[in-house]
Amino acid sequence: MFVTSTVLRGCTAVILVVAVSTVSTHRLGPPQKEECVTGKYPPPQTAEYQVPKYVVNLDLPAADRWTHIVKERAKSIVNLLQKFKDFVKALDAKLAEKIFDYVDHNLGNLTNTLPQPYADEIKGIAKATEIPLGEVLLYNIFYEIFTVCTSIVAEDPAGKLYHARNLDFGLFMGWDFKNHTWVITEALRPMIMNIEFQMKGQVVYKAVTYAGFIGAITGMIPGVLTMSMNERFNLDGGYLGIIEWLLGDHNGKWMSFLTRDVLMYSTSYQQAKETLSKDELLAPGYYILGGNSSGQGCVITRSREKSLDIWELNPGKGVWYLLETNYDHWKAPLFVDDRRTPGMRCMNQTTQQNVGFAGIFNVLSTKPVLNKLTTYTALMQVNAGKLETYKQHCDDPCWPW
């Protein structure tokens, strides 16, 4: 039979139709309680899990920085964009034709209003791949409005900080009933990469991204800070900020560009915390920040205009980790999307004594924290400047999000 549910995401009400049969592994309702997994770290040293590393040379002109990467990955970018086009066409073919005619002929002009060096980087990617500028720009603003994530910052008994996250993407963007997968999620997974941003041959900062996407959603300044960004579902969402930008109001900052600015220019945890708390944004969100000293960890809950709350580590009072999904930490999560409760249960079972890459990776590999939308898990340890990223896969039975 078919079950229909209305779910509010950002400022858009989406009707989700899920096919359910008596033998289906998917059910509409809260996820089943899963046992906290162990022994998942490290993942196999195979292409199915491993993520390649590239260098972006910040000494090059902005238009040339990504050329060596996107030329190699152009087919993957084209494939992803085609999957998105197919998804929109399936909803309304005539509307899709109008949308992509506008994207190809008009949206590219918006690039000229973006801050530098990001405008020139996007133009350089379009030129190198011969993909219409409007489509490259569209790809680069997906993440302002449509990601579902879990981020953790935790402190071990010695005061060493660890920061990790699952990046989930592709919700409601085409469900493959045959393979029980999200179409966009599957197209994104092969595009994951670790990037070292360098100047004069020295690493300035590191980030995890997708080929052709220039923003920073996960990143670190070795020895200084770690950072991840989660979407915050709110009626005053990213859609409104983008519309305002289109209409000429450029006061707000693009979230993933602001994070790159923070990674490029911050010299301390405190400086980054102030910037992420105060700058006006195009979209609401959560910034999860870790420093290099005991107690330096927080979740900054943002409206578009200001910080609403700063939730901080406090090991002296037993708050040795913070776990953020996509809901204000002082409110209950949506009952069909509760990754917080199983994540916290597994962190508590792990205990502070076992904080480290292995323990946290196991937590992020436990369903439904790990789900059909999960593309990667990233692990960061600031003092060692260590960033590890692994492609993630959720085998059936697995919750869709």
Q: Which run of H or of E encompasses 302?
A: strand 297-302
Rounded Cα distance, 31 and 151, in Å: 19
Start-to-end CA distance of the chain, whole Å, equals 21
Neighbours of 242 (CB within 10 A): 18
Q: Using DSSP, how many helices (H) and how many strands (E) does the chain show?
A: 10, 17
3-class SS at 75? helix
Rounded Cα distance, 350 and 355, in Å: 7
Q: Which run of H or of E encompasses 375?
A: strand 374-381
Rounded Cα distance, 267 and 292, in Å: 12
Rounded Cα distance, 253 and 41, in Å: 37
Rounded Cα distance, 371 and 389, in Å: 17
- For 328, residues 6+ apart whose C-beta sits below 8 A from its C-beta are 232, 301, 308, 309
Rg (CA), the chain: 20
Beta-sheet strands, E only, within 22-81: 53-57
Kindly name the residue from 11, 36, 149, 346 that is annotated as catalytic.
149
Rounded Cα distance, 314 and 306, in Å: 23
Catalytic residue status for 11: no
Annotated catalytic residues are 149
